[in-house]
């Protein structure tokens, strides 16, 4: 049982009297103990962040950029160590864990290349008005278990780059790699600027209620996001919520099935389907429906599912027992639906851990739980349509609105349809991929606010208008007059 992990509070490592087990989803057994932070430790972390804030916000943007760059390079130097731990606690294949760390560093670099400058609203006869972006203070960040490093790094970067300090809580399912980030951060930032503590669900509520935290940046489920917003309302905290997405891809009848099938498969089953903007509903035109279904099933038959350190594994387990049980429950409900066909998979694999075979479901419609809810696992419903406008209507008929895509050999046709999707990100002939210079977030219940890009950075600051009237010139003095 691995031990020795510590929180980062005021620039120092610190344990807790209590701890909780961290489960390896490939075995279903605990492999490490994580310290369980107390409310008193949170109070001290927030106090340290508040104490560090005045000096930190006075640093220049370039100074903050250089410290964040050095932090990123230190993370890069420990990629192998972090990736090994990430595979054990999250379950993804080791190579995918390394790629997650690499992508987080690409996003860090992109954030640091983004400019957030004051804007002159007007400068005319009425006067000059300048809009300034003022840091909020202490950011409370809460990250999920599906891509813990990929989501922790940009929250740290955006908070610090805009002059804020941060208190970050990782998911209790995957806390250890994020605690390692805190360990690295101690060597690169003044004490109190970065604080990372692990704890259970109560810890998240303590954060959202805390008087000393000025904003919550949360990534997770819709249900939890609503609780975060309700809790934060008591202190009128600013919130950014990047929530779930039951994202649709619409495939028109003119695509090259062989060319698009692998792209659609991995946009659905990457990370075992545990990506918020992954394809969760695949709408396929009736003319190519059977052909595309067959192509997806063929790909699924070649993919090795297993423990992340096994040679050739491409899909790992569902990350935790609660999510595993939920996906199996949705599959059981799906099997009871009349006329629905399970083309491949459909069951748990007969081995330890939380493994479910990649599952493709055909002849299913809206009104079933698998289509209407977000499964967040290796299960893909494939839905038949005959009219593209009807497919758009059906794709939009949901409380979700994170992302979506349209696939066609006619790019102009695809663009016309994609612009009708009620989503924060609409892709054409591809799906997945958050870019650090492009704002990301959702419509409807898929979130509030944006991360990334200049718009994302603005959500980590408050706008202050500085207004200065034009001072009329003094009249010239009369000749011989005393000054």
pLDDT, mean of residues 182-204: 97
- Cβ atoms of 13 and 27 within 8 Å: the answer is no
Catalytic residue chosen out of the listed positions 242, 307, 374, 451:
242
pLDDT of 483: 53
pLDDT of residue 82 exceeding 70? yes
- How is residue 2 written in tokens? 């691995």
- Cβ atoms of 118 and 133 within 8 Å: the answer is yes
Interval 355-367: pLDDT, tens: 999 999 999 999 9
What is the set of domains in the chain, with CATH numbers?
A: 7-243+442-467 (3.40.605.10), 248-428 (3.40.309.10)
| % of the chain at pLDDT higher than 90 | 95
Can 276 be counted among the known catalytic residues?
yes
pLDDT of 383: 98
Confidence of residue 384 (pLDDT cuts 50, 70, 90): very high
Confidence of residue 482 (pLDDT cuts 50, 70, 90): low
- Cβ atoms of 256 and 457 within 8 Å: the answer is no
Interval 201-222: pLDDT, tens: 899 999 999 999 999 999 999 9
Q: Decide: residue 221, CB within 10 A, 0-12 exposed, 13-18 middle, 19+ buried.
A: middle
Confidence of residue 91 (pLDDT cuts 50, 70, 90): very high
pLDDT, mean of residues 65-84: 98
| % of the chain at pLDDT higher than 70 | 98
131 beta partners: 119, 465
Distance CA 375, CA 327 (A): 6
Contacts for 40 with CB less than 8 Å, ≥ 6 apart:
none
- pTM for the model stands at 0.94
pLDDT of residue 51 exceeding 70? yes
- Cβ atoms of 204 and 413 within 8 Å: the answer is no
pLDDT, mean of residues 91-101: 98
468 beta partners: 128
Helix axes 201-209, 222-232, angle to 10 degrees: 40
Interval 386-417: pLDDT, tens: 999 999 999 999 999 999 999 999 999 999 99
Catalytic residue chosen out of the listed positions 34, 89, 100, 276:
276
C-alpha distances in Å from residue 361, one per residue of 150, 264, 371, 378: 30, 14, 10, 11
Interval 113-165: pLDDT, tens: 999 989 999 999 889 999 999 999 999 999 999 999 999 999 999 999 999 99
- Tell me the CB-side half-sphere exposure of residue 69, using CA atoms within 13 A: 10
Interval 420-440: pLDDT, tens: 999 999 999 999 999 999 999
Q: What is the chain's mean pLDDT, rounded?
A: 96
Distance CA 279, CA 358 (A): 14
pLDDT of 469: 85
Of 312, 292, 296, nearest in space to 304 by CA = 312
pLDDT, mean of residues 63-87: 98
Provide DSSP, 405-448. Answer: EEE-S-HHHHHHHHTTS-SSEEEES------TTS-B--SGGGEE
Can 242 be counted among the known catalytic residues?
yes
pLDDT of 470: 75
pLDDT, mean of residues 286-309: 98
Contacts for 336 with CB less than 8 Å, ≥ 6 apart:
none
Report the Cα–Cα distance between both ends of the chain, in Å, rounded. Answer: 86
pLDDT of 473: 65
Of 248, 315, 316, nearest in space to 278 by CA = 248
């Amino acid at each position: 049982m691995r031990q020795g992990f510590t929180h980062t509070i005021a620039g120092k490592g610190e344990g807790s009297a209590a701890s909780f087990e961290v489960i390896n989803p490939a075995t279903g057994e605990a492999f490490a103990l994580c310290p369980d932070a107390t409310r008193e430790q949170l109070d001290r972390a927030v106090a340290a962040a508040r104490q560090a804030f005045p000096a930190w916000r006075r640093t220049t943007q370039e100074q903050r950029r250089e410290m964040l760059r050095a932090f990123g390079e230190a993370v890069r130097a420990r990629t192998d160590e972090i990736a090994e731990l990430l595979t054990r606690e999250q379950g993804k294949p080791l190579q995918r864990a390394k790629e997650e760390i690499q992508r987080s560093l690409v996003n860090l670099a992109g954030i640091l290349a983004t400019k957030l400058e004051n804007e002159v609203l007007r400068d005319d006869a009425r006067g000059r008005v300048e809009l300034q972006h003022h840091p909020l203070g202490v950011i409370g960040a809460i990250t999920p278990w599906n891509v813990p490093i990929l989501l922790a790094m940009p929250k740290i970067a955006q908070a610090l780059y805009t002059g804020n300090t941060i208190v970050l809580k990782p998911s209790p399912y995957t806390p250890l790699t994020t605690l390692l980030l805190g360990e690295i951060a101690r060597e690169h930032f003044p004490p109190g600027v970065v604080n990372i503590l692990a704890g259970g669900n109560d810890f998240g509520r303590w954060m959202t209620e805390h008087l000393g935290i000025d904003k919550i940046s949360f990534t997770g489920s819709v249900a939890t996001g609503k609780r975060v917003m309700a809790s934060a309302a008591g202190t009128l905290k600013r919130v950014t919520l990047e929530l779930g997405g039951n994202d649709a891809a619409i495939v028109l009848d003119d695509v090259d099935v062989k060319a698009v099938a692998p792209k659609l498969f991995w946009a659905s089953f990457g990370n075992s389907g545990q990506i918020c903007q992954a394809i969760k509903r695949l709408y396929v035109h009736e003319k190519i429906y059977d052909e595309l279904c067959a192509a997806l099933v063929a790909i699924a038959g070649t993919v090795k599912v297993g423990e992340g350190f096994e040679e050739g594994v491409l899909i790992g387990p569902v990350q935790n027992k609660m999510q595993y049980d939920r996906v199996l429950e949705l599959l059981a409900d799906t099997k009871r639906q009349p006329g629905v066909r399970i083309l491949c998979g459909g069951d748990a694999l007969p081995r330890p851990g939380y493994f479910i075979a990649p599952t493709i479901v055909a002849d299913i419609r809206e009104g079933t739980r698998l289509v209407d809810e977000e499964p967040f696992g290796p299960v893909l419903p494939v839905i038949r349509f005959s009219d593209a406008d009807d497919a758009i209507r059906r794709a939009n008929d949901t409380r979700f609105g994170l992302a979506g895509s349209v696939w066609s050999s006619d790019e102009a046709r695809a663009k016309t349809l994609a612009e009708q999707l009620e989503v924060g990100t609409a892709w054409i002939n591809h799906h997945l991929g958050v870019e650090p210079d492009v704002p990301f977030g959702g419509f409807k219940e898929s979130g509030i606010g944006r991360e990334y890009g200049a718009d994302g950075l603005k959500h980590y600051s408050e706008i202050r208008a500085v207004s200065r009237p034009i001072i009329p010139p003094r009249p010239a003095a009369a000749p011989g007059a005393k000054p």
